[in-house]
Each structure stands twice: as C-alpha cells, then as structure tokens.
Structure 1
C-alpha cells in the first residue's frame, strides 16, 4: 500500500479524453495527470489548460517508455485497443482502456492472461458501474423490492449522421452503435441481475457503410425477458427499466448523467407510489479513476474486472451472430 498518487498518461488527445476523462483524472483523489501522447501542439493545448504541468510526448511508444508513468488511459479507436493495451502492460503500466476493449469476446483472453502474468491492473473503462445509481438499482432488484423480475427494457440513442468522419460511423475503426452504446444497455442488465443471456431471440439491425446505426434486440435470460434499442440515427434518449411482478425500477439518465440529465432512480411501488432518489453531483468518471487508483495503490478488488467486460462482449457477439443468421 502506498499514499503516492498514481501518475497517469493518456495515449492520444481524443475529444472524449479532453472533455471527460482527462478532467476526471485531474480531479480524482490519488491521481496525477502527468503525461499525454500527441504529436500535435494544438491538441495538447486544451489539456494544458486544466493540467498545466502535463508532459507531452510526441508518440505513444515514448509515453510508454516514460518510467515516471504508472498507468495509462487509452481512448484510441476501437480496433487499436487490444494491441495498445498489451503494449502498455508489457511496458509495465496499469491500463484503463476505453470500451469496447475488444471487438470479440475471445480477444479479451490475451489481455486477461497478460494482466495475470504481469500482476498489473487492467480494465475496460466501463464507468456506469461506479455510479451509485446502479448500485441502488441492483440492490432494489435483487432484494425483491419489485417482486419477481419479469422484464428488462432499455433504450440508448443519439444522432451523429452528419459527423461522417466520426470513428463510430466507420467500419474500419470498429464503429457502430452496438459497440459504442450496446455495451451499456446489455452490460447494465447483466450488472443489475447477475444473469447471462441464454439466447438472443430477435436481432434486427439497420446497417450503413458497414456499421450498425439502429438495432432492436430481444433476449431470454434465466429469469426474465430483455428488450433494448440502440441507435445512432435517432434523437437523444436513454432509459433503463427493470419491471417486476410488484413494481419496477426506472433509471432516467442511466449512462451519461450530467450530460443527458440528472441521475435519478424511480422505484414504482404498488398503489402508484413512486420513491425517487436523485444523484445531482456524482461524476462517475472521477469515481472510476479513484476506484482504479485504489486497486493500484492498495490492491483493492476492482469493481469491473475484465471478466465482466468479456461477458458483455460475448452478448454483443451473440447479437451479431443472430442478426447475420
């Protein structure tokens, strides 16, 4: 155990790193945003605005060779995640990699093996499980507060059709709505219930230029039925509902609260009673960085291990297999 802050480096000056994860690392307790890898001074400038002392390396390998860096955050395009995660672990760095860490479930195996061989912390940046709204939802569902769980349904959508250069709209970078946001609608159901899908009973997908832009998926889990829609071509909406025999739990900003809206958990009880719990100030990106730091510094169990993330990717693989027949 050590009280020294974890010194972080970021591979690439991605917009998400600039707007969310960079500031979160800078704000997190026990963390020091110390380095950035980018060859563009213009892209480095916004990071220096909130982290003036940050070192800038002109390449990813140069940052990995920096002995002062303990951990790296990887926000690169999806198809590069596995390779750079393995390189970072080989360089002796702990790794937090953006989701999806891999494009197929079996690609997780090499990362899990490397994590175990090195003894380093490696995880997918699946931030929602660090938010207390999801722990409350899990407690309510598993405690029987809503009776027997019958159905889980969700939706996550946004519209980026005009952003044609976005990596989510490109097949060659591992784009698509399901890899980007299906991880949330699928993974959150697994997190709350602790169950895995037995069968994808329906998978209807609309494709554009090789990426899924709309998908409706139904699945059978051991104790409930599941239905979700993801889209990159609809107005922004997000919601998850866990519907039981006596009531239901609804999350109104389940995936990116503060951006989409205030995180709220609505417990609907018999007699039309509604109990609302609000989380106005929680930043789950900061929570994620702090949890990662505790695992690095104290050896604490990380709340979202690679095995969980592999399970979500396995469900995504099942969805694509069903859609393609």
Structure 2
C-alpha cells in the first residue's frame, strides 16, 4: 500500500502524544523525520518514537528531498510563516489550528502554488461521531435544526505555557473556541452572518480566559458556545432540531482508538438517562485525518477542505474579537 513520508516540525506535546502515534498507525503514512530548534530534543523524540531522521532545525527538515508532507504544530504565530516556507520548499502541509492569527494573515497562504496542499488540522471532522451527526442533520431525522450549543473548557494557569502567552496567539478563542465555530459551520454547512461575544481576560496573561458567543447563521439558525481556559474540564456539543436533539458526549478530545457515544432525545422523557445512546465505532480521528490528507497528496482523492475553509473560520474568530471591543454585533467578514 502506498504511503507518504511525513516530517514533524517541533517536539510539541500534541505531536509526540497524539499525531505521531496516529500517523504510525495510519494506512497511508510513515513518520520519516522530526525537527526541533536544537538537535537534542529531536534526537530524543526520534529515539523514543522510532523515527529514522532527526534534525536540529526546521530548515534542515524542509530541505530533505525525501519528505512529502509536514505536520506543523508550532505556536500559533508561526503557523503561516512556517507553512509558507514548507510549501515553497515543495512540501504539503497539515497545519494545526488555528491556521493563523487573523483571516488576513491566512489569506497569505493563497499565494502558494496550487499543487501544494495545505489543510487545517481539525481532526474532529474525520471522527465517526461527527460524520454521524452531520448525517442525522442531512437526513432530516432531527427535523429542522435550529441550534448548536457547545461548552469546552480546561484549567491551565501555567505562565510558561504558550496557550497563556497573548503575544503569540494564546487564549481560549484561538485554542479551543475555534472548535465550536467549526462545529456550527460543519453542522449547518453554511457560513455565519454575524456574531456577538462576551469576553473576560486574565489580568496577568492578557489572554481571553472565558468567552461566550452567539453566532447567527440566518434563517433562525444559531450557534452559542462558551469556552474557558480556567474552569473545570468539560466538553459537550448538542444539535437541537424540531424533532430531536443529538448530543455528542466527548466531541473534541475523543479517546483515540475507543468507541464513543451519541445521545438522541425526542424530549418525551425528561431527567437523567433521557433519550437513547448510540455507540459509534472505535476510531482514531488523528489517523483518519492523516490518511485523508495522504490520499489527497497521492492524488487518490480530493482534499477534504483547504485554505479557503481555514480563512472562513478565521473570519468568524476575527469578528468575535471585534465584538469584544465594540460590545456589539459584528458582521462576519465585515
């Protein structure tokens, strides 16, 4: 079976713990190299994970002619510049979310050659529970879908963590708020018209630590969500229609290689245990993402989504940040 050769840019935790093991389990990829800003961390990671090549700079990895595609999990402010460098070096790029700090910055990626593929790494889009959710919407089983609701939180007060550094793209909206925005766009299969947000910022870090938002998709469709970087860890997505609601119990950090549950509820019985639970097959959403990208790189399938989709997602985040400042509704893309 054909496989592409991946290079991993940095020894970021998500790469070491989630993405590299997933690519190693994937059908169409092999992790051939890893790079860090100094040789030591890359060599240590390569030895630990059985990766054949280790580089002491990102430039060295990008110059390797045997690397087909790179995974870019660098801090948010480096997503666009390093993705540009990688693509201009002839590599295809799977870039972690958010793909940029603004939609205007993401627009720079449209300057790349059309034969270099770039995809934002929203692994959730490849998980069976998300695909089942969208099928329920498309089939009409939920009725007319009116609302998508989500809550996503974790607790992190570490001042050294990049997610708590505002100057390089830290904060809740960039880190996890992008997921509910993606959920709304994925379920409605449409782009929102306007947004309003309420943001609380950490007095020490300057990052948004508690953000709530209302996102209007028009025609009576809305997304509302809250994300926090300093609250009890929790996550849910529910999609409410005129006939039923569907609730995804672990929508974002689904356990790799495990079954997941989706609740369907017609409202006929209230309280704990209402509705029925549907078991979704065991899946590794990171491996599925890697395979979807690899097949597109090999020309076997079309890229599931590309730079234009990433720009559309960033336009929503831009509008939410503008609403924080204006205390008013803001037009998406306005």
TM-score by length of structure 1 reads 0.93
Residue in 1 that maps onto 2:34 = 36
Q: Deviation per CA, 1:118-153: give whole Å up to 9, x if none.
A: 412111111110111111111111222111222211
2 CA distance for matches of 1:16 and 1:93? 21
- Name the SS of the counterpart of 2:282 in structure 1: coil
1:50 aligns with 2:49: yes
Matched, 1:212 2:204: no
Query: Is 1:69 paired with 2:67?
Result: yes
* Equivalent position of 1:306 in the other structure: 307
Structure 2 residue runs without a partner (length 5+): 327-334
Instruction: Report matched runs for 1:48-197 at 5 Å.
Output: 48-51=47-50, 53-114=51-112, 117-161=113-157, 163-197=158-192
What CA distance in whole angstroms lies between the structure 2 residues aligned with 1:87 and 1:122? Answer: 12
Query: Deviation digits for residues 5-44 of structure 1, max 9, x if unmatched?
Result: 1111111111111111111111111211000112242453
Relative distance call for 1:197 and 1:118 in structure 2 (3 A) is: closer
TM alignment of 1:238-249, pairs within 5 A: 238-249=235-246
State the match for 1:230 in structure 2: 227
Query: Cα–Cα, structure 1 residues 268 and 118, in superposed 2: closer, same or farther, change >3 Å?
Result: same
* C-alpha distance in structure 1 between counterparts of 2:64 and 2:223, whole Å: 46
Q: Kindly indicate whether the alpha-carbon contact (under 8 Å) linking 2:9 and 2:34 is maintained by their aligned counterparts in 1.
A: yes
Q: Deviations over 1:103-124 (max 9, x none)?
A: 111222221331xx24121111
Q: Which moved more, 1:310-319 or 1:85-94?
A: 310-319
Could you list the runs of 5+ residues in structure 1 that have no partner in the other structure?
none
Residues 1:309 and 1:118: Cα distance change in structure 2 (over 3 Å): closer
* Per-residue deviation, residues 168-223 of structure 1 (Å, max 9, x unmatched): 100121111110111111111101111221111x3110112221111011122113
Aligned equivalents of 1:84, 1:131: Cα separation in 2? 27
**C-alpha displacement at 1:238, in angstroms?**
0.5
Distance 1:284 1:10, change over 3 A: same
* 1:227, distance to aligned residue in structure 2 (A): 1.1
Counterpart CA distance in 1 for 2:117 and 2:41 is 32
Question: Does the 8 A contact of 1:129 with 1:304 survive in 2?
Answer: no
Please, what TM-score do these two structures have when normalized by structure 2?
0.90
Please say if residues 39 and 57 of structure 2, whose CA atoms lie closer than 8 Å, have aligned partners that are also in contact. Answer: no
Runs of 4+ in structure 1 over 6 Å off = none
Report the counterpart of residue 271 of structure 1 in structure 2: 268
Q: How many residues are aligned here?
A: 317
How far is 1:225 from its partner? 2.3
Distance 1:270 1:210 in 2: 42
CA separation in 2, counterparts of 1:47 and 1:193? Answer: 42
State the secondary structure of the residue aligned to 1:249: strand
Question: CA 1:185/1:262 → structure 2, altered by over 3 Å: closer, same or farther?
Answer: farther
Structure 1 equivalent of residue 25 of structure 2: 27
